[in-house]
Amino acid sequence: MTTRSARRRALGAAAAGAAALLLALSACSSSDDGKTSDSSATPTGSPSASASASSQVKGTVVVFAAASLKESFTTLGEDFTKAYPGAKVVFSFGGSDTLAASITGGAPADVFAAASPKTMKTVTGAGDGVGAPTTFVRNQLEIATLPGNPRHVTTLKDLTGPGLKVALCAKTVPCGAAAQTALTASGLKLTPVSYEQDVKSALTKVELKEVDASVVYRTDVKAAGGKVDGVEFPESAKAINAYPIVALKDAPNPTAAQAFIALVTSAQGRQVLSQAGFLNP
């Protein structure tokens, strides 16, 4: 079992090599699928420096991430393994509150990316984070309806109409807390047919036609493609969630943890997240 001093030395080495790690990431920012990075990310160091940084990042890095990050983080995971052939990324996606509870309960993980500062505080407040979390994106709510919007939902108030079946995220989940904030700001009360444990579950309810609508993130509507339609509503501007990311204190692979966070917060990572519909931090 790795001692605290060993972890501190490993994290120190990761921090010292942060610049070199970013160089290696930028070197992989152009790939066969046509992805390009900002010109400012062009590596300026020597090939040997990039190779040295890449060789330091190996093994498995376990990332616990909010369900709404599934598509964009999966893409970034592929980019990460291209930059570091000796590394592998294993993701656990779910409700941020459930993931936070797992981490504080001792689940082995290297990185935590939450959908709200509140759920991140569960981890950092317990002393399980390394340093201050970094906010890397924000996200805004949208109403997901059946394709073609057959119930003609155009406002948040429409969700309170008689006979309309609506799914919401559980109030303890960031998307659910944000929905409640928007409803309260509008003076509306809504009793859904179900409370779901993460945003993907709420979206699936619509995709399976089990409900007429659900309140999810606009990134989830975009990821669903033609399976749902999206309805924007102005009250969502009062309930935008910030997404923080942090390396974990007992990370089994602290070097890879810092390298993955470097990718997420880089110009390359921001491009992937922006394409998924996330807002800049």
Residue 51, pLDDT score = 52
Q: Which domains does the chain have, with CATH numbers?
A: 4-138+242-275 (3.40.190.10), 141-238 (3.40.190.120)
Nearest-CA neighbor of 21 among 206, 271, 189, 254?
254
**Predicted structure pTM score:** 0.81
CA dist 110 and 87 (Å) reads: 13
Q: Where are the beta strands (DSSP E) in the chain?
A: 59-66, 87-94, 111-113, 129-139, 141-145, 166-169, 194-196, 213-217, 229-231, 241-248
Angle between helices 96-104 and 117-125 (to 10 degrees): 0
Residue 110: both structure tokens together: 């290297």
Q: What is the pLDDT of residues 249-280, one digit of tens each?
A: 999 999 999 999 999 999 999 999 999 999 99
For the chain, the straight-line distance linking the first and the last C-alpha, in angstroms and rounded, comes to: 37
Task: Say if CB 156 and CB 267 are below 8 A apart.
Answer: no
Residue 35, pLDDT score = 37
User: How many residues make up the chain in this entry?
Assistant: 281
Q: What is the pLDDT of residues 98-123, one digit of tens each?
A: 999 999 999 999 999 999 999 999 99
Residue 264, pLDDT score = 98
| Phi, psi angles (nearest 5°) of residue 254 | -65, -35
Residue 90: both structure tokens together: 């294993």
Residue 53, pLDDT score = 60
CA dist 35 and 279 (Å) reads: 19
Mean pLDDT by 10 residues, the chain (281 residues): 39 41 41 36 39 78 98 98 96 97 97 98 98 97 98 97 96 96 94 96 97 98 96 95 97 98 98 97 92
Residue 222, pLDDT score = 96
Question: What's at 216, amino acid-wise?
Answer: V
